Amino acid sequence: MKILVVDDDVQLRRALRINLEARQHSVIEVGDGKDAVESTIADTPDFVILDLGLPGLSGAEVVRAVRRVSAVPILVLSGRTQSADKVDALDAGANDYVTKPFSIDELLARVRALTRGAGVPHHDVVGFGEVRVDLTRHEIVRRSTDGEEIVKLTPTEWGVLEVLVRNPDRLVSKREILTTVWGPAYGKEDAYLRLFVGQLRKKLELDPARPKHLITEPGLGYRFSQ
Amino acid sequence: MGALSARRQLVGLVIALIALPTLTVSLSSVRSDVSLASDVLAYQLLVVVVALIGGFWPAIAAALAAGTLLDYYFVVPLYTAAIDEPLHLMALVVFVIIAFLVSVVVDKAERRSQAARRSMKESETLAELSGSVLRGDDGIPAMAQKLREVFDLASVSVERGHIVLHRSTRPVEPDQNSEVSGTPPRGRTVIPLGDNGRLVLTGGPLRPADERVIRAFAAQIETGLAHRDLTAEVERAKPLEAADKMRTALLAAVGHDLRTPLAAATAAVSSLASTDVQFSAGDRAELVNTAQVSLDRLGRLVSDLLDASRLQAGVLAVYRESVAIDELIPLALDDINASYHSVEVDLPDDLPEILADPVLVQRIVANLTANALRFSPAGVRPRICATVVEHPHTSVRLRIVDSGPGVPPERRQAIFAPFQREGDEDATSGVGLGLALSRGFAEAMGGTLDPEETPGGGLTMVVTLPVAPPSTTLPTPTGVLE
């Protein structure tokens, strides 16, 4: 896979290059937003890792410029604690983000999640925590101390769970869930979504107040993690 | 009675004085037995005209005079003032009554038109007032002046507590110096304005009818005062706002600069720990080096930040001793990995030692030289040279000279402010503490750091530090600054 790494810090670029090359990817390094946009056009990378704090163009501007010419997955490195920049970049079309500092495994997991391709089921049966979800038979089994029990979900709950489970480790935006489950006319009904995710947590998580699998990304969306 | 101006009354009287004899003469020339009725009417007309012009008193005077003239010249017996017929007496009384009634009507009309004129003026004034408040200025000076002019007052002042916020006084005309300046104003009216404010009017008779307008003025001035208070509040908030903005920018810059090397080091170290892949020996060495370089940078930044806060708090420890500059320069160049050949060093052989903290001097020189190297065009070496100056104190002036793009004069002081870089979008130039720290260090040692233009273009940084007294033999800690 050809990966474009955009960061103004030479050291971080070097660390990423060594790691990605060791995993048989080819790496293009650039140091600013303008070069990033030019390289997207000239080199047609398969993946873009983009730092948000770049000199010149802002991260969101780079994402917007790249999106005009390419649908390449973009993973944003956010060196800031403010979520506004992340939200801007994701709204502009970035696919996911990692907050600095990050371990290389975390970054690689995000890269894998994004390149698996959205909506493609990689397993029909997904197990997490105490539950096993069979996506084809629409059946959920929950183990507990006194044996197994079937968990019943409403159709809407199924819809929400399916979108998340089919995109493991990937940030799924609120909008994406809403339009997939409710239809294209919905997209702003965040409160619905919170309600159904809350229901799902009650039924599936060990501790619904501290979810481990259906994780909220504040302001952005949800992420399913096994 | 007496709404009419004195001038009008006089005119009426003059008309009566001229017209009555004229009328009498002309009417008596055509007198006949049957002319009395028309004579009476002619006199009556004249009295009415006088009443219309001159009002009550001229009319009454004209009526009495006309009655007397009629009686004397036209009523039988002629040429006597005697009235032998009660009927004639009645005619005379009717005469006076008509004059009285007409003049009352005229007087009333005049009063009404005066009142109308006054209310028109009032509304104009009020409109003007609300206009000035709407225009946004607090309008207090304009309103005070207007109030003084409209009611012809000696002075109008807006006060709060013991402070006179504004005072408008009647200009003293040079030919009116008959009034003794110490005379207290005749009337003094105080109208409260909001919290502990008041409007003080002096001089000029105020009528109860004026109160309505004065109240309106007071209300407007009160609004103006509130406006003024709010504006002051906004002005006070401005520096706070700027400081807040500065702090946010600073936090973003520090955050970025701390996180960038931390991210690189974390990425490098965590990849060394990952088990899913085998790195070549070269790759491992590179990752270790990445971590090292980044952690060094982080370490430098942290100590710079600590020094900056020590400088700001005035607790930077400064140990001054006799220092030979020529011995420090190689150390400083070594700090920034610059070879002795990349910089032209030109120090006089007899350069005296300075009284300074060698560690701080070394950091100043390293920092300034690193900047000079960064901005020098390829092939032109920065220069370090030194001279001795005698004034105001015997000092060494160390110059670090580059031929780079230079700094425009208006920016030359601004570059010494900490965290110059805006936002967090540049990893190459660091957080922008270098110059601020260098100047802080120089000043902490009793010296200065100032920029000047390099002849032919570029920036020259001038470090001035005091020469060590000849007797100094042992290092003496001077303790903590300030």
Q: Provide the chain B residues 276-305 that lie in CB contact (below 8 A) with chain A.
A: 276-280, 283, 286-287, 290, 293-294, 297
Task: Clarify whether residues A107 and A170 are in a common domain.
Answer: no
Is residue B346 within 8 A of residue B385, CB to CB? The reply is: yes
Rounded to a whole number of angstroms, the distance from the CA of A114 to the nearest CA of chain B is 19
Q: What is the CATH number of the domain that holds A7?
A: 3.40.50.2300
Q: d(Cα B303, Cα A185) in Å, to the nearest integer? A: 55
* ipTM of the complex as predicted: 0.72
Best probe of the B interface among A6, A12, A78, A97, by most B CBs < 10 A, is A12
In a 10 Å sphere around its CB, with 0-12 CB exposed, 13-18 middle and 19+ buried, how is residue B72 labelled?
A: middle
Q: Indicate the range of A105-119, B175-189, B350-364 predicted with least confidence.
A: B175-189
| Residue B384 pLDDT level (bands cut at 50, 70, 90) | very high
Using an 8 Å CB-CB cutoff, list chain A residues near B424: 53, 79-80
Is residue B109 within 8 A of residue B101, CB to CB? The reply is: no
Tell me, letter by letter, the H, E, C secondary structure of chain A: CEEEEECCCHHHHHHHHHHHHHCCCEEEEECCHHHHHHHHHHHCCCEEEEECCCCCCCHHHHHHHHHHHCCCCEEEEECCCCHHHHHHHHHCCCCEEEECCCCHHHHHHHHHHHHCCCCCCCCCEEEECCEEEECCCCEEEEEECCEEEEECCCHHHHHHHHHHHCCECCEEEHHHHHHHHCCCCCCCCHHHHHHHHHHHHHHHCCCCCCCCCEEEECCCEEEECC
- Amino acid B345 reads V
Residue showing tokens 């994701």: A90
Q: What is the pLDDT of residues B218-249, one digit of tens each?
A: 888 888 888 888 888 888 888 788 777 777 77
CB contact under 8 A, A14 and B270: no
Does residue A206 lie within any of the structural domains?
Answer: yes
**Residue among B266, B286, B425 minimizing CB distance to A14:** B286
CB contact under 8 A, B428 and A22: no
Task: Clarify whether residues A34 and A108 are in a common domain.
Answer: yes
Q: What is the CATH number of the domain that holds A151?
A: 1.10.10.10
Task: Clarify whether residues A75 and A37 are in a common domain.
Answer: yes
Structure confidence at residue A161 (pLDDT): 92
Cα separation values, A184 from A161, A164, A197, Å? 18, 18, 19
Domain positions in chain B are: 6-117, 261-313, 321-466
Does residue A120 lie within any of the structural domains?
Answer: no
Structure confidence at residue B165 (pLDDT): 83
Q: Indicate the range of A55-59, B182-186, B423-427 predicted with least confidence.
A: B423-427
For the CA atoms of B4, B7, B9, B10, the dihedral, rounded to the nearest 10 degrees, stands at 170
When pLDDT is averaged across residues B111-130 and rounded to a whole number, the result is 80
Structure confidence at residue A81 (pLDDT): 61
- Report the SS3 class of residue B454: coil
Q: d(Cα B254, Cα B419) in Å, to the nearest integer? A: 8
Taking each continuous run of H as one helix and of E as one strand, the counts in chain B are 10, 11
Task: Clarify whether residues A144 and A105 are in a common domain.
Answer: no
Q: d(Cα B146, Cα B149) in Å, to the nearest integer? A: 5
**Is the per-residue pLDDT at B174 higher than 90?**
no
Structure confidence at residue A30 (pLDDT): 93
**Is the per-residue pLDDT at B185 higher than 70?**
no
CB contact under 8 A, A12 and B283: no
- Token pair for residue A53? 């704090």
**Is the per-residue pLDDT at B53 higher than 80?**
yes
Instruction: Count A/B contacts: CB-CB distance under 8 Å.
Output: 99
Q: What's CA A175's distance to the chain center, in Å?
A: 13
Residue showing tokens 């370090």: B384
**Residue among A11, A22, A100 minimizing CB distance to B290:** A11
Structure confidence at residue B109 (pLDDT): 87
Task: Clarify whether residues A132 and A79 are in a common domain.
Answer: no
Task: Clarify whether residues A130 and A220 are in a common domain.
Answer: yes
Structure confidence at residue A75 (pLDDT): 94
Share of chain A above pLDDT 70, in %: 95
CATH number belonging to domain B321-466: 3.30.565.10
Structure confidence at residue B474 (pLDDT): 53
Q: Provide the chain A residues 7-26 that lie in CB contact (below 8 A) with chain B.
A: 8-9, 11-12, 14-16, 18-19, 21-23
A200 HSE (CA, 13 A, CB side): 27
Number of domains chain A contains: 2
| Residue B1 pLDDT level (bands cut at 50, 70, 90) | low
* CA neighbor of A133 nearest in space, from A205, A193, A182: A205
| Residue B179 pLDDT level (bands cut at 50, 70, 90) | very low
Residue ranges of alpha helices (H) inside B30-85 are 36-54, 56-69
**Residue among A12, A22, A102 minimizing CB distance to B283:** A22
- For residue A53, the enclosing domain spans 2-115
Task: Clarify whether residues A144 and A208 are in a common domain.
Answer: yes
Task: Clarify whether residues A100 and A15 are in a common domain.
Answer: yes
Share of chain B above pLDDT 70, in %: 87
Task: Clarify whether residues A18 and A109 are in a common domain.
Answer: yes
Check if B252 contacts A (Cβ < 8 Å). yes
Structure confidence at residue A45 (pLDDT): 94
